[in-house]
Each structure stands twice: as C-alpha cells, then as structure tokens.
Amino acid sequence: MTDGMEERELMELASVSRNNAYSPYSGFRVGAALLTKSGKVFTGCNVENASYGATCCAERTAVYKAVSEGEREFVAIAIKGDSAGFTFPCGICRQVLMEFSPSLKIILSNGNQEIKTFTLYDLLPKAFESEIMSKKGDGDN
Ligand code: THU
C-alpha cells in the first residue's frame, strides 16, 4: 500500500492493539491500525466507560491519536473485532474518518483471517460534508 506496508501487516497491528481494549461493559474488544500518507501507523482500541455514551471506538482512538500528533492524511485503516464475522466501523466512526480521508481504504478481517476491503465512500456514500472538508480536495464524495 505505502512504504511496503501490506494489508495483512496493518491487520496484525490492529489485532495486537485489540489486546489493549478496555471493554468490561460489552466484553467486545476492537483494535484498529491507521496508516498515514507519510507511512506512520497509529493504533487504537475501544475504551469504554461506566457512562456508556462516553465510550470511544477503536477507530476514533486511532484517528484522534494521529491528529493529535499532527497527521491528517490517511491511506488505510485495518479493523479487527472479537466476532467471527467482519467488524464494520460504526456510523460515528465513518463520519469521523470522512472528515479527513473520503478515499480511505477500509480493511476488515473475520475470525478465519479472511480479508475484505472497501473504500470509506463505499461505506458512507452521500456523507454530510462541510465546505472546510471539500477544500482539502481529497476524493469526490
Ligand atoms: N466498537 C468499536 O470499537 N468499533 C466499531 O467499529 C464497533 C464498535 C466498540 C464500541 C464498544 O466498546 C464495543 O465495540 C461494543 O459496541
């Protein structure tokens, strides 16, 4: 994909990050690994809270870590949940990812280590956009 980073390598980083999930309420762990255009990887896990709505998903943890370190251009995100099937990003995370990279590659893996890929635009067509986003010129959403 970028700098030799392969889909399966990024997925492995997401899987490892899943081990750090703080999910005592749902018992469902999720890990994510976000690859930046500059070739860095930011990982994230879900972080739950006694006040359930304060929970942060793995994908947003990774995005917020990256943005807070000065990165805003993303190439791909790998997502690994505890389920046997593929764990798709929730609607809030899709919108948060859309803010930065409409053409982002979304890499999912199931319990059999099979891989499926999508673009963010596949998963969130006709997204809400602001003029500030469209000035970035990334994608054609
Ligand atoms: N979760 C994620 O971290 N990412 C997703 O894409 C879906 C859901 C988390 C939120 C919560 O901690 C747990 O999974 C169950 O919903």
pLDDT tens for 76-119 read 999 999 999 999 999 999 999 999 999 999 999 999 999 999 99
In three-state secondary structure terms, 98 is helix
Which residues form the pocket of ligand 1, taking CB atoms under 6 Å from any ligand atom? Answer: 23, 26, 28, 30, 46, 48, 55, 57-59, 87, 89-90, 93
Residue 2 lies in a domain: no
Q: What single letter denotes the amino acid at residue 12?
A: E
CATH number at residue 93: 3.40.140.10
Question: 7 to each of 55, 86, 119, how far by Cα in Å?
Answer: 27, 15, 13
Total domains in the fold of the chain: 1
Question: Which tens digits make up the pLDDT trace of 4-48?
Answer: 679 999 999 999 999 999 999 999 999 999 999 999 999 999 999
**Active-site residue identified among 6, 12, 48, 59:** 59
Q: Does pLDDT of 137 surpass 90?
A: no
| Residues 6+ away with beta carbon under 8 Å from 66 | 34, 36, 40, 42, 72, 74
Answer yes or no: is 105 within a domain: yes
Q: Are 59 and 87 in contact (CB under 8 A)?
A: no
Q: What's at 72, amino acid-wise?
A: R
Assess whether 59 carries a catalytic annotation: yes
pLDDT in the model for residue 5 = 76
Identify the residue whose tokens are 């994908």.
59
Structural domain containing residue 70: 7-132
**105 pairs with which residues across the strands?**
76, 119
Please give the model's pTM, rounded to 2 decimal places: 0.94
Q: Which of 62, 101, 107 is nearest to 87 (CA)?
A: 107
